[in-house]
Copies of this chain bind each other. A is one copy, B any other.
Amino acid sequence: MLTIRAATAADFEAIWPIFQEIVSAGETYAYPRDTTKTEGKQLWLDNPRRTFVAEQDGDILGTYYIKTNQPGPGSHVCNCGYMVPAKARGRGIATAMCLHSQKVAVELGYQAMQFNFVASSNEGAVRLWHKLGFETVGRLPKAFWHPTKGYVDALVMYKWLATGC
């Protein structure tokens, strides 16, 4: 049974290996591959509006954040980032977190959710976000430097939430 709950500062000990696995690979997130633990905590736990963990039998198998994407005239649109370690993929954890995040977004008063920078090479993620109702609304030519594929396009994905999840 998977539980999604608010992350505490203490949870970062379990979040960090997930963050480091994904960020050091350099294939999906717009963070420097050598991001330190202190910087990672700031980016993932301190700066966002809320951070959650997905827990099963006491193991943290996923995490996501939600934050305002643009202040002022854009503050009705939120942004989320999700991480699932390789060992826990294929079990629907990203789906569960994305559905959870859409509910949280509505509760926090957001009207829409935007992903700013999805590497087009991350085909599994693109497929999943489409399945969960996100549209590709932008394509940034060669905006993502992939460690083995070189320059690939980055996608902007977007979902209006006001009509429900």
Contacts and interface: CB of A to CB of B under 8 A. Distances in A.
A119 interface: yes
A15 to B, nearest CB: 18
B30 A143 contact: no
Given A70-B117, A72-B31, A156 B138 contact: yes
B72 A112 contact: no
A139 interface: yes
B30 A71 contact: yes
Interface string A21-32: 001001101111
A71 B31 contact: yes
A137 interface: yes
B140 A114 contact: yes
A30 B74 contact: yes
A41 to B, nearest CB: 16
Interface centre among A26, A72, A77, A142 (most CB of B within 10 A): A72
Interface in A75-97: 75-77
A105 to B, nearest CB: 14
A110 to B, nearest CB: 11
Given A30-B70, A30-B74, A70-B30, A141 B145 contact: no
Interface of A: 23, 26-27, 29-33, 35, 70-77, 111-112, 114, 116-117, 119, 137-146, 154, 156, 158, 160
